[in-house]
Structure 1
Amino acid sequence: MTTPVIHITGMPYVPGTVRGELQRGLKDNPAGKIVLLEQALTDPFELPPAGFVMVDGAPFSHDLIPLMGSGVPGILITRSQADALYTGMELVLNGATGLLTTDLSVYVPPYEPPVVSTVSTTEDGEAVSLRVSARSQQVVQCAVESSAEAIGLLRSEFLVPEDGQLPDAAFYSSTFRKMCESAAGLPLTIRLFDVAASKRPSWLPLTPVDAGVLGRQGVRLYADEPVHSIYRAQLQAIDALAPEFEVRILLPYVADLAELKYWHADIKRQLAFPVAIGAMAETPSAALQLHEWLKVVEFVAIGCNDLMQCLFGADRDQPELRRYLDPYAPTLYQFLRQVADAVQDQIDEVQLCGVLPQLPGIMPPLLGLGYRVFSVEAALLPYLRQTIAGTHTGEASMLAEQICSARSSVAVRELLG
């Protein structure tokens, strides 16, 4: 009796095609295996598997970002899809299309990809800036080795003392210096302490008003202790490093122009050495103000993960709500077009961050909308450079228009192939 072929179509997450036996979890040596994960990683892979399949994952959550950062090919599937899988079965996984199948004939052995210039340029010669988002010294070093243009986003909230105590100016002076030295001359943008309900240190109590996804986070906490002391300690450390290194400051989760002006002025008062200051727009109302913000700050960043959370009204960290945060929704691209059109010739001062631009197939329409600056995971730089090199901006503009005019997410996925 012939065993029926299993074809599962999940959500594409990290590109790459691999073949291997299915293993549940990471308890055993995962080398060469396709690992089925039922909970997110708390630490990077010690021994990376050939590929991963995440069950009921929230693709834009804080928990899954390290999986994307691993560069290991992977997809996301539902619990009902996972029920068809069993340990030891031989599978082919395609992270770019979302395919997981027992049809081994579709597997094409890996080959060395063509060498693409470390300078990111589209097929028709448009320059694109690929920077790296980092949370550790190891990732900063990887960015240098991968010829990133800059560290576009250093997530300072993940830099914590080993003893778990409240960080102070001495800690940040030492830690930020190590980051700058590891960057080896690359410009480094430090996002100031950015805490939310899903990434809260033990020394910061969670109050009812802070518990929700739209509660107090980012700069909303800067006036209150103990976060105010951390804010000042970080600025003190940056001010001491600024004469030696090319550092920039990024304010997280700014809501409006008045809030931006207040904290911009406060930072200027505390710094003796001039440092470029930027702000992060992570809500729809903030993103629509960027043309005004750029009259105050030197650059801005759009946090696509939180932006989508607000735009679609769904908690990014809840797997049960993942269908609402739809990276193929035409309304998302209509909104991003509106933002790009509003900033016009200052689009090069707008940096897109988050999962969205790194998902397979998404970079071309973003280029078509006019975006040219991205902060991404270091492990995905080769794939994104190759994607950019194969994209003609004229064709990408037409694709973006088609996506904005599409009637459904299904139609968008068809347009993206």
Structure 2
Amino acid sequence: MLNTNISGMPYFPGMAAGKLHRGVEGDIAKRIVLITPDEFTSFATLPAGFIVVEAELFSHSMIALLGLGLPTVLISAQQATTLQEGVSLLIDGSSGRITDNLEAAQSVVEPLPGLKAGQAVLMADGEPVNLCASVRHASAARQAVELGAKAIGLVRSEFLLPADDRVPNSTFYQRAFRELCEAASPLTVTFRLLDVAADKIPGWLPQSDVLGQALGLQGVRLFNTEPVQSVIDAQLAALSEMSNDFSLRLLIPFLVRLEEYEYWLAWVRQRLPEHVPIGAMAETPASVMDINHLLETADFVAIGCNDLMQSFYAADRDQPELRHYLDPYAPVLYRLFRQVAENSAKHLVDIQLCGLLPQLQGVLPVLLGLGYRTFSVDAPFIPYLAKSVASTTRAECEALAAQVCAVKTTQEVLEILQLPADRHPPFLI
């Protein structure tokens, strides 16, 4: 008799049950699909959930998998050898548990009582925390409202594309942006201007050896080139046309220096009404270490944790061989965030953390303890993170963050956060 009980790393919350199916070939509907990152593809039919073997946690392909919104657990190659195809399994994407005991299912986590869209979540001592949603399309914006998001903290506009791969014009964006804003109503919506990267190179953009690569041409580095500049103009024209109908904000992506932001701020402001706030996306060590100066000019700053970690650790997040370098539990990472918070001083309220990091198990209370209060995450995480916020106090989080920043190794951080090392393998071990 089989007895499967694996503790993996939780990646996308929710529960799913079904027979185990290896790979993406064949009928995967209502199955739990076991795959490796090199098997990722566009899915004509979606399974019930995923078990991913030896995943590159912060890779663009894994972020795309998040966008499917299915329960997902990450495991090691050794753990995968214990799984047999065809066996009925239950996976819990919020705890990382994989079991063949189908009666172990628990009810889906419900939103906190009183959690409403457009409102902050309160810590146990009354401290407000803003849990915003990062979205790619209108249906995700609608889900964010249903799950109680404070706002739409980030619209990944590069994923809004014409079906025929033509260069999008202002008419296309007026329709796509308006549909998304209507779905998000009454929330404020922050649009990030086109940000080309490895997983989001549109068919209309000529290829280049450095296009979309780590430390290559992306974000504002392409804004002076055609056809990108025409697309940016089209996005701004659409937003300008809508600016009196919705509460909008704008983000300029992948900035490195203050002078760069000032240049593009002036360029964008000529095309956008004064009442629309314009923020800077800080995704490199240089930009986050100069965040106090950015905040003197920008209306707000969003820190892109995924790309920041890539630069900080000098490791391409899409390279499987480097995946262990992108360590979300290394204490040196939190010392960086502590320094950024200290440099920001009174402007810390104007900083939003984006990316996968706040969604990972045990991380949010540490970031709260460092002083951050606004986060943009995938909408399905909001009920889980809201419960975490409501169950702790500022003093408890500050004490936790101080402990994490004081130690030397990932193993020590895992012990402080009470996370098992077999579920969160220590850095480079």
Q: Quick check: TM above 0.5? A: yes
Query: What is the rounded CA distance, in whole Å, between the counterparts of 2:402 and 2:273 in structure 1?
Result: 47
Q: Which residue of 2 aligns with 1:109?
A: 105
Q: Give the alignment partner of residue 13 of structure 1, picking from 11, 14, 30.
A: 11
- Greater shift, 179-188 or 219-228, is seen at 179-188
Deviations 1:208-257 (CA, angstroms, capped at 9, x unpaired): 33353101110011011111111111111111111221111100001100
In 2, distance between residues paired with 1:275 and 1:189? 10
Deviation at 1:292, TM superposition (A): 0.6
Using a 3 Å threshold, how does the CA distance of structure 1 residues 167 and 18 change in structure 2: closer, same or farther? closer
- Comparing 7-16 with 277-286, which one deviates more in the overlay? 7-16
State the AA in 1 paired with 2:172.
F
User: Take 2:106 and 2:70, find their aligned partners in 1: how far apart are those partners?
Assistant: 14
Q: Which runs of 5+ in 2 are unaligned?
A: 419-429
Task: Verify the 8 A CA contact 1:70 1:379 in the aligned structure 2.
Answer: no
Q: In the alignment, what sits opposite 1:28?
A: 27
Change (3 A) 1:41 1:144: farther
The residue type paired with residue 261 of structure 2 is: L
* Equivalence for 1:77: 75
Contact 1:239 1:273 in 2 (8 A): no
Give the % identical residues. 45
Could you tell me how far apart the structure 2 residues matched to 1:298 and 1:149 are?
Answer: 18
Aligned to 1:378: 379
Does the Cα contact within 8 Å between 2:54 and 2:76 map onto a contact in 1? yes
Could you list the per-position Cα deviations for residues 257-298 of structure 1 after superposition, in whole angstroms to 9, with x for gaps in the alignment?
000000011111222453100010001111111111111111
Residues 307, 402 of structure 1: CA spacing in aligned structure 2 closer, same or farther, 3 A cutoff? same
**Shift of the alpha carbon at 1:407?**
2.2
Whole-angstrom CA distance in 1 between matches of 2:108 and 2:199: 39
User: 2-side partners of 1:307 and 1:55: how far apart?
Assistant: 25
Alignment-derived partner of residue 228 in structure 1: 229
Q: What aligned pairs does 1:13-412 form with structure 2 within 5 A after superposition?
A: 13-16=11-14, 20-25=18-23, 27-31=26-30, 33-39=31-37, 42=41, 47-49=46-48, 51-101=49-99, 104=101, 108-111=104-107, 113=109, 116=112, 117-118=114-115, 119=119, 120-210=121-211, 212-412=213-413
1:29, distance to aligned residue in structure 2 (A): 4.9
- Shift in Å at residue 70 of structure 1? 4.5
Partners of 1:135 and 1:156 within 8 A in 2: yes
Counterpart of 1:294 in 2: which secondary structure?
helix
Partner Cα distance (1:397, 1:46) in 2 = 45
TM-score (norm 2): 0.89
Aligned length: 411
C-alpha displacement of 1:207: 1.9
Q: Is the 8 A contact 1:44 1:70 kept in 2?
A: no
What displacement does 1:369 show? Answer: 0.9
Provide Cα deviations, 1:158-197, integer angstroms capped at 9, x if missing partner: 0111111011111112211212222212111110000023
RMSD across aligned positions (CA): 2.3
- What amino acid maps onto 1:168 in structure 2? N
- Aligned partner letter, 1:130: L
8 Å contact kept, 1:22–1:86:
yes
The 2-side partners of 1:20 and 1:237 are apart by: 44
Contact 1:316 1:322 in 2 (8 A): yes
1:410 offset after TM fit, Å?
Answer: 1.6
Structure 1 alignment gaps of length 5 or more: none
